[in-house]
Structure 1
Amino acid sequence: MPDFLLNFDRHLFYLINHNLSNPFFDGLMPLMRNPKFWIPLYLFIIIFSIWRYKKQGILLVIFLALAVGFADFTSAGIIKPYITRLRPCRDPLTALTDINRVACGTGYSFPSTHATDHFAIALFLGLLFYKRWKWVLPAAILWAAIICFAQVYVGVHYPLDVTGGAIYGSLIGVLFAFGFRKVVPGFKA
């Protein structure tokens, strides 16, 4: 990655991690990026899909799980080890000033797997339910973006990490939504 882009990313990280620091975000952002916090939402999606759409709902849940599984595996297991970008909390240039609001985390930083997974979920569901409920797509994107912002705010990812993860996860979500529509052509949300 070019030096000017890395420097810009570090400056943007500092702006979010330091300059936007406040007690409200200090309490909220660690929750927003914690997947366990969202378990009720994940359960709602699964139960609603199966209850409302029966067999098609089961296929929807399977495709959603496949999308997230593919996003997670390729992000964490293939791309990160290839890119090998250090997390801000491990980078010698930022670790001294990084405000760590959660444990640093293991592994590499680019792309953010949280961003990849949640944008895959957001685009997959948003595209499937858009015709019936127009608000689902923007709400899902906002939800995933808040999780991305939280990753930077708590100090475990740079802005480009979450941006790359968001783009990659969005592509996966779109591809799996397209695949679902091919397998279940009569699905009407």
Structure 2
Amino acid sequence: MMESIQQFDVELFLKIHRGLSNGFFDWLMPLMRNRFFWSPLYLFIVVFCIKQYKKQGYYIIAMLLFTFAMGDLIASRLIKPLVSRVRPCNDFNLANDIIHRVPCGSGLSFPSAHATNHFAIAVFLIGLFYSRWKPILPIGIFWAAIVSFAQVYVGVHYPVDVATGALLGSFIGLICSQIFKKLQPEF
């Protein structure tokens, strides 16, 4: 069964990585996965929370950082070393199929820490702000999904890596938002 999942994952990876290849995505997708590209958004979240919620805003940012740290810790430090899956861009069997759009890196592939962290952040913010601003749900999910999709498109993760990271991050974000609401019931 694991072999058939692996084969499906490689086939889907190639359909995305090579099959969707075009000049616009070749330009856009490396940006979508670049943390510096999203720096203005991160800065906006910090400024908005502090300006809008004063002292509670600092608690929101602290819990957001905790959420990010938990996602990164669980994905990168716990699961990746246990699974030890090689990135597709480092897989010798795919060497002739990879289009090098970004540096591959030497890290492991499963799960995607980008997907885990971005879904954790998105779901945490959705959990906190959905009752006040409904558009955060599609915006947050789209943001985390495009970052995750870009990981497959540029060739550094398989689809199962990002799907698992999305599920893991969503769970972490949900738990952290619930913890925050318990600690800050007046929010």
Q: Report TM bin, short chain.
A: over 0.9
**Within 1, Cα distance between the matches of 2:164 and 2:76?**
13
90-99 or 154-163, which moves further after superposition? Answer: 90-99
Aligned pairs for 1:102-141 within 5 A: 102-141=102-141
Once the two structures are superposed, the pairs formed by residues 135-174 of structure 1 within 5 Å of their partners are 135-174=135-174
- The number of residue pairs the alignment matches comes to 187
Q: Given that residues 68 and 117 in structure 1 are in contact (C-alpha distance below 8 angstroms), is that contact kept between their aligned partners in structure 2?
A: yes
Post-superposition shift, 1:66?
0.3
Aligned to 1:75: 75
State how far apart, in whole Å, the 1-side matches of 2:37 and 2:84 are.
28
Gaps of 5+ in 1: none
Query: How far apart, in 1, do the equivalents of 2:96 and 2:55 lie?
Result: 53
Offset from partner CA, 1:80-129 (integer Å, 9 cap, x none): 01100000011122222111200001210000000000000000001111
**Quick check: 1:9 aligned with 2:29?**
no
Contact 1:109 1:157 in 2 (8 A): yes
Work out whether 1:24 is the aligned partner of 2:24.
yes
2:94 corresponds to which residue? 94
Give the TM-score normalised by structure 1. Answer: 0.97
TM-score of the superposed pair, with normalisation by structure 2: 0.98
Q: Which runs of 5+ in 2 are unaligned?
A: none
- Letter paired with 1:167: L
Distance 2:174 2:38 in 1: 22
Kept in 2: contact 1:112–1:157 (CA 8 A): yes
SS at match of 1:97: coil
Q: 1:181 corresponds to which residue?
A: 181
Q: Deviations over 1:111-149 (max 9, x none)?
A: 000000000000000111101111101110110000011
Ranges of 4+ aligned residues in structure 1 off by more than 2 Å: none
Does the 8 A contact of 1:85 with 1:109 survive in 2?
yes
Q: For residue 35 of structure 1, give the secondary structure of its aligned residue in structure 2.
A: coil
1:49–1:61: 8 Å Cα contact kept in structure 2?
yes
Q: Does the 8 Å contact 1:100/1:156 carry over to 2?
A: no
Give, in whole Å, the separation in 2 of the partners of 1:86 and 1:103.
15
* Residue 43, structure 1, aligned to residue 32, structure 2: no
Q: Percent identity?
A: 54
Q: Does structure 2 retain, via aligned residues, the 8 Å contact 1:126–1:138?
A: no
Q: How many angstroms apart in 2 are the aligned matches of 1:181 and 1:85?
A: 36
